[in-house]
Amino acid sequence: MAKLTMNNDILNKLSSLKSALDGYRPFSEHVVKQLKDYYRIRLTYTSNAIEGNTLTEAETKVIIEDGITIGGKSLREHHEAIGHAKAYDYIYSLLDKPISEEDILFLHKLFFEKIDSGNAGRYRLKNVIITGTDYLPPDYQKVPVLMKKHIDNLNKYVKDKHPLEQASDLHAEFESIHPFTDGNGRIGRLLLSILTKKNGYCPVIIPPIRRAEYIDAMQKSNKGDLNALRALVLSVIYEEMKSLNRLVESLAR
């Protein structure tokens, strides 16, 4: 078995947190609903914020749950909140089966259809650049083949990698392909959370305060250095698992 490159100390702590969480499984319907609702808002807010959306977490909540329009915020920001929440809801249907190309395209359609219906649920048909970096994504003509390989990797068990290391590396792989005209970060982070949840962990919540760290890690991964992203993913999952354990303990009383 190849040597793990992730922090074994945190992995051991995560194992303990996961074991404690497993003690409450299977969760009751009440706990499941509460957690789904909590992470719908939390994941939507943080993932959109990373991409520059200025909605607060409270504003995101009232848009999604109450249908209220926030004055001074753009129509696109509203659509990003609503679209991401729809895509988030869909990931729960993917936890107990292999992820297909159709699933990924549908995730993107759910998120992007009110923003750009012409490109929603479709791979990009032109070459793009990623602002703020010198990395050039693959030629658009290569995207379908690269995505088929990526999807095979998403559904493959790799015995010489910890599941969280594999999930982080697959996130880097997806983002390097950059298969869509827009929305790659949000769809990529939803896929990352699907992988972590499939293995009994929490969704991946990257707080806006760590946005610069995340962007830097992604830039390093595009140059072949995966360790910064692995460390970041492990760190945020560890912090969120502590919060999740507290939530479940409180809800289970």
What pLDDT, in 10s, does the model give residues 217-232?
Answer: 999 999 999 999 999 9
At 39, the pLDDT band (50, 70, 90 cuts) reads very high
pLDDT given for residue 5 in this prediction? 56
The per-residue pLDDT for range 161-213, each reduced to its tens digit, is 999 999 999 999 999 999 999 999 999 999 999 999 999 999 999 999 999 99
Q: Is there a catalytic annotation at residue 79? A: no
Cα 4 from Cα 86, distance rounded (Å): 36
By the 8 A CB rule, do 174 and 226 touch? no
* Residues of the chain above pLDDT 70, percent: 98
Does 4 map to a domain?
no
For residue 26, tell me if it sits in a domain: yes
Print the domain residue range for 119. Answer: 16-251
pLDDT at 1 > cutoff 60:
no
Residue 3 covered by a domain: no
Note whether residue 109 is domain-resident.
yes
Average pLDDT of 94-114?
A: 98
Which amino acid is present at 239?
Answer: E
How does residue 252 score in pLDDT terms, banded at 50, 70 and 90? confident
CA distances from 196 to 182, 235, 241 (A): 24, 13, 11
| Domain count across the chain | 1
Q: Is the pLDDT of residue 67 over 80?
A: yes
Per the domain annotation, does 9 fall within a domain? Answer: no
d(CA 131, CA 139): 16
CATH code assigned at 244: 1.10.3290.10
8 within a domain of the structure (yes/no): no
Average pLDDT, the chain: 95
Candidate from 2-6, 21-25, 137-141 with smallest mean pLDDT: 2-6
* Predicted pLDDT of residue 146: 98
- Looking at residue 8, its pLDDT comes to 84
Residue 48: how many CA atoms within 13 Å on its side-chain side?
28
**pLDDT tens digits, one per residue of 125-151:** 999 998 888 899 999 999 999 999 999
% pLDDT > 90, the chain: 92
Summarised one tens digit per residue, pLDDT across range 111-128 is: 999 999 999 999 999 999
Confidence of residue 6 (pLDDT cuts 50, 70, 90): low
154 in a domain, yes or no?
Answer: yes
Distance CA 229, CA 176 (A): 13
Examine residue 6 and state whether it is found in any structural domain, yes or no: no
Residue with tokens 């939530």: 247
pLDDT of 3 over the 60 cut: no
